[in-house]
């Protein structure tokens, strides 16, 4: 069931109405039933996997709390990690590892055929696996108490707004909200609806319209060269941002309807002045997860400089692998790790500007520079193979000696002419104007504080714009594959 589907438009109001009609003591099972129904709409059989992960992490946390012996605690934690990561490995990484070993053996003249499993990747498995493991680790560290109510805990794991593509919530933020009684708050619900509308603009108008051109180029990349490769890469940068942050906005807005506040997952990332700042604004729930459960346990920056740099690169390599079982993702993660090492070694990382701080020419040049670097790294994220990625990087400037033909050929390749280019540019101008304004204020709250005529004109205008500019192709969110 997609957020941008008719079935979800029917499902959500029904669950919303029942939730507020039921007394508090019955709401958890409604959310649990709705969440499992939501997940089973993709594949009924794979609900067993999320149930297995839920049971293992629930039982492990209680066992950890019942024992004081350090050795037993470590054994319980290890068993939980192996069990949950084992499921993730089989479904997501087994074929990749098998193929990589086979390729390595062939490279040294050892004949070997890879063993492959014909398994479909369960939607959202990386997200709910990381959410449950952070819970177990937090209990192991003594930072939280184990949840005794299995139904409440199962609802925390499967809460449908953020189940399949995040944000990856921590138990410290979400679990107690599932347990607590909520009183309907009109302002919170209205804010959620507005946030959802903005998320739909990002997904239906920006991401899905750009996807048409990105897929055309990247899926047959060797048929193209020159500016079309560059434009497709820039389009993908905005596509993936609007696709993923749009999902996060819809998820957060949906949760608001039930009195639940999810964490913010994106904060205007393309207005970053360094790669480090980019990762403090992009997919925040994942970057903080790796910071707390990989980077800091490795030693973080509390070690000698060479080890600190190793910790950074290692963390981003693992982050790249989290995104997909392909060497393209590993290289993408490694690029971001190396870039952060370079920034720190050269002393290029500055403090983030305060909200409302004036942005001068130097700031804008830094923003543009970081955006270009991020776009080049996105090549490896989007390319189907390493060969495709290197082809694009080595052919994007072909024909640039004749700027007119360079531009015209791109228009022909992508079938984008002046009228369509103006429309796409308008989408991006609206998007970036919102994000830039968000650096200094909550735009939705600010619009909501204007007089009625102004704010309703904005709301009506945005909804109308979405209706008449949405892509005619209904597509799944990109991060469902991770």
Report the phi/psi class of residue 249: left, alpha or beta, with left for phi > 0 and alpha for psi in -120 to 50: alpha
At which residue do the structure tokens 């050929």 appear? 409
The rounded distance, in Å, linking the Cα atoms of 247 and 434 is 17
The rounded distance, in Å, linking the Cα atoms of 166 and 481 is 12
Which of 112, 62, 57 has its CA nearest to residue 84?
Answer: 57
Tokens standing for residue 44: 């009924």
Query: CB-based contacts of 265: which residues, under 8 Å, 6+ apart?
Result: 166, 167, 244, 245, 248, 252, 283, 284, 285
Domain boundaries, the chain: 6-183, 188-269+368-481, 274-352
The rounded distance, in Å, linking the Cα atoms of 21 and 15 is 10
The rounded distance, in Å, linking the Cα atoms of 281 and 266 is 5
The rounded distance, in Å, linking the Cα atoms of 333 and 381 is 9
The helices-and-strands tally (H runs, E runs) of the chain is 21, 0
Which of 327, 332, 336, 322 has its CA nearest to residue 479?
Answer: 322
Whole-number pLDDT of residue 431: 96
Whole-number pLDDT of residue 107: 82
Whole-number pLDDT of residue 355: 52
Please return the burial class of 381, using the count of CB atoms within 10 Å of its CB with bins 0-12, 13-18 and 19+: buried
The rounded distance, in Å, linking the Cα atoms of 434 and 253 is 17
Backbone angles phi and psi of 288, in degrees to 5? -75, -30
pLDDT by 10s per residue, the chain, length 482 = 788 888 999 999 999 999 999 999 999 999 999 999 999 988 888 899 999 999 999 999 999 999 989 999 999 999 999 999 999 999 999 888 888 888 888 888 788 888 888 888 888 899 999 999 999 999 999 999 999 999 999 999 999 999 988 799 999 999 999 999 999 999 999 999 999 999 999 999 999 999 999 999 999 999 999 999 999 999 999 999 999 999 999 999 999 999 999 999 999 999 999 999 999 999 999 999 999 999 999 998 889 999 999 999 999 999 999 998 899 999 999 999 999 999 998 887 766 655 556 678 899 999 999 999 999 999 999 999 999 999 999 999 998 989 999 999 989 989 888 899 999 999 999 999 999 999 989 999 999 999 999 999 999 999 998 999 888 776 777 766 76
Whole-number pLDDT of residue 347: 83
Tokens standing for residue 51: 């149930």
Contact 249, 344 (CB under 8 A): no
User: Which whole-number Å values give the CA distances from 448 to 71, 192, 442, 456, in the listed order?
Assistant: 55, 12, 10, 9
- Per 3-state DSSP, what percentage of the chain is helix, strand, and coil (rounded to 5)? 75, 0, 25
Contact 247, 479 (CB under 8 A): yes
Whole-number pLDDT of residue 357: 60
DSSP class of 294: I
Read out DSSP for 109-177?
A: T----------PPPTTHHHHHHHHHHHHHHHHTTSSPPP--HHHHHHHHH-GGGTTT-----HHHHHHH
At which residue do the structure tokens 């982050």 appear? 319
User: Coil, strand, or helix at residue 451?
Assistant: coil
Report the residue count for the chain: 482
The rounded distance, in Å, linking the Cα atoms of 265 and 246 is 10
CA dihedral sign, ordered 421, 423, 427, 432: positive
Crossing angle of helices 125-140 and 171-179, rounded to 10°: 90
Which of 479, 403, 468 has its CA nearest to residue 209?
Answer: 468
Whole-number pLDDT of residue 208: 93
The rounded distance, in Å, linking the Cα atoms of 290 and 282 is 13
Contact 448, 191 (CB under 8 A): yes
Active-site pick, 24, 149, 283, 323 = 323
Read out DSSP for 317-360?
A: HHHHHHH-SSHHHHHHHHHHHHHHHHHHHTT---PPPPTT----
Predicted confidence (pLDDT) per residue in 11-27, tens digit: 999 999 999 999 999 99
Whole-number pLDDT of residue 471: 81
Whole-number pLDDT of residue 319: 94
The rounded distance, in Å, linking the Cα atoms of 3 and 208 is 13
Please return the burial class of 187, using the count of CB atoms within 10 Å of its CB with bins 0-12, 13-18 and 19+: exposed
User: Which whole-number Å values give the CA distances from 433 to 208, 270, 271, 469, in the listed order?
Assistant: 20, 12, 11, 18
Which of 123, 134, 199 has its CA nearest to residue 173?
Answer: 134
Is 24 assigned a catalytic role? no
Whole-number pLDDT of residue 377: 97
The rounded distance, in Å, linking the Cα atoms of 340 and 122 is 32
């Amino acid at each position: 069931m997609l957020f941008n589907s008719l079935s979800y438009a029917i499902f959500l109001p029904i669950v919303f109405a029942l939730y507020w009609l039921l007394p508090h003591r019955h709401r958890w099972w409604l959310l649990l039933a709705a969440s499992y129904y939501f997940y089973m709409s993709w594949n009924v059989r794979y609900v067993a996997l999320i149930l297995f992960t839920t049971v293992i992490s629930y039982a492990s946390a209680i066992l950890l709390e019942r024992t004081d012996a350090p050795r037993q605690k470590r054994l319980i934690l290890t068993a939980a990690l192996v069990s949950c990561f084992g499921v993730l490995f089989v479904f997501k990484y087994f074929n990749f590892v098998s193929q990589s070993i086979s390729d390595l053996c062939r490279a040294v003249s050892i004949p070997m055929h890879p063993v492959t499993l014909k398994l479909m990747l369960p939607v959202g498995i990386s997200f709910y696996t990381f959410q449950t493991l952070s819970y177990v680790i937090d209990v192991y560290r003594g930072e939280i108490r184990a949840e005794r109510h299995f139904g409440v805990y199962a609802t925390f794991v499967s809460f449908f707004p953020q189940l399949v593509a995040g944000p990856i919530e921590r138990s410290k933020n979400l679990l107690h909200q599932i347990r607590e009684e909520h009183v309907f708050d009109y302002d919170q619900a209205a804010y959620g609806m507005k946030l959802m509308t903005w998320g739909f603009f990002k997904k239906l108008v920006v991401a899905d319209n750009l996807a048409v051109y990105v897929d055309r180029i990247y899926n047959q990349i060797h048929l193209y060269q020159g500016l079309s490769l560059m434009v497709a890469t820039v389009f993908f940068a905005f596509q993936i941002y609007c696709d993923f942050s749009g999902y996060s906005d819809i998820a957060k807005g949906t949760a608001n309807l039930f009195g639940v506040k999810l964490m913010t997952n994106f904060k205007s990332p393309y207005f970053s002045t360094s790669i480090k700042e980019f990762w403090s604004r992009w997919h925040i729930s994942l970057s903080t997860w790796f910071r707390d459960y990989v980077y800091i346990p490795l030693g973080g920056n509390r070690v000698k400089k060479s080890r600190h740099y190793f910790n950074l690169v290692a963390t981003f390599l693992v982050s790249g692998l989290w995104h997909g079982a392909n060497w393209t993702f590993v290289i993408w993660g490694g690029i971001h790790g190396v870039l952060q090492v370079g920034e720190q070694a050269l002393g290029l990382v500055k403090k983030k500007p305060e909200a409302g701080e004036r942005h001068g020419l130097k700031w804008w040049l830094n923003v543009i520079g970081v955006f270009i670097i991020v776009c080049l790294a996105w090549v490896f994220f989007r390319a189907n193979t390493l060969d495709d990625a290197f082809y694009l990087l080595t052919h994007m400037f072909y024909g640039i000696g004749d700027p007119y033909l360079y531009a015209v050929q791109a228009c022909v390749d992508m079938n984008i002419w002046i009228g369509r280019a103006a429309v796409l540019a308008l989408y991006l101008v609206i998007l970036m104007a919102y994000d830039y304004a968000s650096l200094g204020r909550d735009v939705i709250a600010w619009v909501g504080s204007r007089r009625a005529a102004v704010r309703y004109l904005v709301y009506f205008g945005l909804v109308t714009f979405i209706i008449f500019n949405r892509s005619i192709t209904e597509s799944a969110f990109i991060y469902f594959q991770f």
